[in-house]
Amino acid sequence: MRLFQLGLTRDERKVIFIASLGSMLDFYDFIIFGFLSIFIIQNVLQDHHASELSFSLIFTIFIVGYLVNPIGMKIYSLLAKRCHLAWSVSLISLMLVLANLYFALIPSDSGFAWLHGLFAIALIRVMQGLASGAFIQMELNYLNDKLAHKIDLALFGIMAGIELGQLLGVSIYRLTNVLFSVQEMEQFAWRIPFMIGVVFTLIAYLIRLAVIFSLKSVQPVKRPQMYYHIYTRFPLQSKLAIIISGLTGSTVFIFLIFIPYGMYYHLHYSLYLISHYIFMANLLSLLINFGLNKLVRFHNVVLITWLATMALVPSMLFWGWAFINKQYGLASILPIAILASLVSGLVPRLLYGLFPEVSRTLGVASCHRVGFIFFGGVAPLITIALGKVVHHLFPISNHNVLFSSSVIIYVIFMALLTLYALVQIKRLVDYKLLSKLDYQSRGFKV
């Protein structure tokens, strides 16, 4: 088996491209929602102090969108049996466009009651979750059907979409903070990234239609393989894959969402300065890891992941010290950004060998998504709860200490969980054999 095959046909390149669109849109929404959660709380929930309670409720509702993904997959499976693929894509895209448009235009006047605001956000997230689940199922089915012999490249398309969505979200957020003042952001400009999301969704819809009608075969799989079935077929592998992906989700979320929230809420940094720090840290981490990932091979992926996981602890401790003392803003978050980006590149290789080839696309893509979203999405809830526990056990009045200590405890917990998973994965997967096959596929003699 060649792990990194080239020579893709025109149709295969198109399939990989449309597969990356769903991941890109999903993670763009993920990042933008996190960045703009403060404005949603202030404008929609009318909580101008952005309390921890509102923050917890917002992200609880946010997770609900992902919990309804399986229902969206079922919807797609029903549509796939009865409708042409173009009709299925049109209906699902319409649902996603309406949800994003409602988010961009959601009322923010004082008459919009707090409870009604929560209900409106929940409705939007359910619609987004249903549409997202349907698109995920469609894209995974097509990858599994059209690229079963080139799974590694199919997975690359999905992962590339995730990275692109993250970069787009950070860049759009930075751009809005550069172009608009704080007052304008609070009044109306916070809606612009959601409107841009609507535009991205429409463009993706048109691209999908163009690709569908240009493919030689446009009929979907008649018996879609539901991705959540992978958890019952390979329970141990799925559990380990979700844990490993959870480290990526938790570190990315803490770096991109929760640390900026702490800078704004506790340190009272300006949104302009926060967006500058996050953009620069994200850009530098991508550039650094572009070089580092070239050194990663199957034979050393476990070791490098172990080292990166261990390095997270001193990096978080340094950030905590800097946060408490209000020093080294960019320098304190850059190591976390680098490690989060590095782990993101390592995870696909780690997960590659866990699943048999016939289920590899579904296994890697679904477990990576679930782990990323779950452990990242619950990070605010867990860290806030940990802060309450720390405050109860130790009468600490310094909010900066409480905030940073709760974040550090959560990351240490995820690091320990990841180290456990790495030990189990090393027992299950022969990475030396994968490395040998990798070298052979590149034309080297082993």
Q: How far apart are CA 426 and CA 302, in angstroms?
A: 7
Q: Can you say how many angstroms the Cα of residue 347 is from the centroid of all Cα atoms in its chain?
A: 13
Half-sphere exposure of 366 (CA within 13 A, CB side): 34
Predicted pLDDT of residue 309: 93
Residue 82: both structure tokens together: 């009865």
* Residue at token pair 């949800």: 99
Give residue 214's pLDDT. 65
CA distances from 205 to 8, 23, 217 (A): 24, 14, 18
- Rounded CA separation 169/197 (Å): 9
With tokens 């893509």, the residue in question is 365
Q: Tell me if residue 147 falls in helix, strand or coil.
A: coil
Other CB atoms within 10 A of residue 158 CB: 24
Query: What are the structural domain ranges in the chain?
Result: 7-225, 227-446
Q: Is the dihedral of CA 60, 62, 67, 68 positive or negative?
A: positive
pLDDT for position 192: 92
- Name the one residue in this structure whose structure tokens are 């919009």: 112
Report the C-alpha gap between 158 and 164 in whole angstroms.
Answer: 10
Structure token digits, residue 249: 């989700």
Quick one: how many helices (H) and strands (E) in the chain? Answer: 19, 0
Which amino acid, 56?
Answer: S
pLDDT of residue 355: 80
Contact 91, 123 (CB under 8 A): no
CA 317 from chain centre, in angstroms, equals 24
The answer to whether the CB of 106 falls within 8 A of the CB of 120 is: yes
Coarse DSSP helix, strand, coil percentages of the chain, rounded to the nearest 5 percent:
85, 0, 15
Superfamily for 7-225? Answer: MFS general substrate transporter like domains (1.20.1250.20)
DSSP code, position 110 = T
DSSP tag of 219: P
Residue with tokens 């990663």: 296
**Letter for the amino acid at 210?**
A
Q: What's the number of CA atoms in the CB half-sphere (13 Å) around residue 21?
A: 25
Listed residue (108, 194, 158) closest to 352, CA to CA: 158
**Which portions of the chain are predicted below pLDDT 50?**
1-6, 218-222, 439-446
Q: Residue type at 181?
A: S
Q: What is the pLDDT of residue 321?
A: 94
- Let me know if the fold of 7-225 is the same as that of 227-446: yes
- The CATH code belonging to domain 227-446 is 1.20.1250.20
Residues in the chain, overall count: 446
Three-state DSSP class for residue 225: coil
Using CA atoms, how far apart are residues 115 and 131, in angstroms rounded to an integer? Answer: 25
**Cα 306 to chain centroid, rounded:** 21
Q: Say if CB 297 and CB 414 are below 8 A apart.
A: no
- d(CA 362, CA 157) in angstroms, rounded, equals 13
Q: What angle do CA 28, 309, 27 make, to 5 degrees?
A: 5
Measured between alpha carbons, how far is 4 from 21 in angstroms, rounded to an integer?
22
Q: What is the pLDDT of residue 414?
A: 92
CA distances from 215 to 71, 86, 220, 405 (A): 28, 12, 12, 53
Residue 406: partners with Cβ closer than 8 Å, 6 or more residues away:
383, 384, 385, 386, 387, 390
Please answer whether residues 319 and 258 qualify as being in contact, where contact means their C-beta atoms are separated by less than 8 angstroms: no
Eight-class DSSP state of 113: -
Measured from the Cβ of residue 4, the count of other Cβ atoms closer than 10 Å reads: 12
Question: What integer pLDDT is reported at residue 419 of this predicted model?
Answer: 94
Closest of 369, 372, 418 to residue 252, by C-alpha: 372
